[in-house]
Chain A
Amino acid sequence: QVQLVQSGAEVKKPGASVKVSCKASGYTFTSYYMHWVRQAPGQGLEWMGIINPSGGSTSYAQKFQGRVTMTRDTSTSTVYMELSSLRSEDTAVYYCASSRTFHDAFDIWGQGTMVTVSS
């Protein structure tokens, strides 16, 4: 079945970087865009950016420009989201989610990865 499986929880110190993975299965990896959305504890959803697994092109929300990097490995059907210069406000659950086109609905979601930033 179609699914996105993310890597496990992470605990990082302020100033460090974190890299979260999202492995796709059950569909043609390069046919769907992949987004990253995060949710701070008790808060709403926040879009971080998108990667086209076919060519690797990316588009990031202005808030994260310069701090986030999204990459993909077509050989393993995996996308990665790396966030650098972590601060306590980055503590959140990070989700990957796929869409059929750039602006389309997020129809499949990963299970989420908790990233805790604490000294």
Chain B
Amino acid sequence: QSVLTQPPSASGTPGQRVTISCSGSSSNIGSNYVYWYQQLPGTAPKLLIYRNNQRPSGVPDRFSGSKSGTSASLAISGLRSEDEADYYCAAWDDSLSAVVFGGGTKLTVL
């Protein structure tokens, strides 16, 4: 059971916009930054969004992050086949003194 809650799956067609939610609590998302990671099949995770809504250089602006209260979202616009991957949210948890992850969302591009 993950501390952060994500839907196990999401899907969309090419060109569509999809969002992935991440729900937490006051001790993690409510008081700390949220990060998003993309994991393509068989590879190590890659940083996609940091500090709630910042994109590292090289990450397309089709990817965007937001946070409100104890929840966060990742939005992917102009969906492409290469976006098919697992997506994880993460945050520091003050109560656990640990980094906590969501269970991951498998995105399928139909």
CB A40 to nearest CB in B, in angstroms, measures 12
Within 8 A of B (CB), among A101-119: 103-107, 109-112
Q: In the complex, are the beta carbons of B45 and A106 less than 8 A apart?
A: yes
Chain B at the A interface: SS class: strand
What residues of B have a CB within 8 angstroms of the CB of A72 in the complex?
none
- C-alpha gap A97/B39 in the complex (Å): 14
Residues A106 and B35 in contact, CB atoms below 8 Å apart: yes
Q: A26-71: which residues lie under 8 A (CB-CB) from chain B?
A: 35, 37, 44-47, 59, 61-62
Question: Do B44 and A44 have beta carbons less than 8 Å apart?
Answer: no
**A80 interface contact, C-beta 8 A:** no
**Selected contact of A109 from candidates B44, B51, B56, B103, CB within 8 Å:** B44
Contact (A110, B37) CB under 8 Å given A44-B104, A62-B98, A104-B50? no
**Please, which residues of chain B bring their CB within 8 A of the CB of A111?**
44
Chain A residues with CB under 8 A of B35: 105-106
Bound-complex Cα distance A97 to B104 (A): 18
Q: Assuming A106-B45, A109-B44, A112-B44, is B88 touching A44 (CB within 8 A)?
A: yes
Taking CB atoms and an 8 Å cut-off, the chain A residues in 70-119 that contact chain B are 95, 97, 103-107, 109-112
- Residues of B that sit less than 8 Å from A by CB: 2, 32-33, 35, 37, 44-47, 50-51, 56, 88, 90, 92, 96-104
Give me the 4 closest cross-chain CB pairs, A-B, nearest first.
Answer: A105-B50, A47-B99, A109-B44, A44-B104
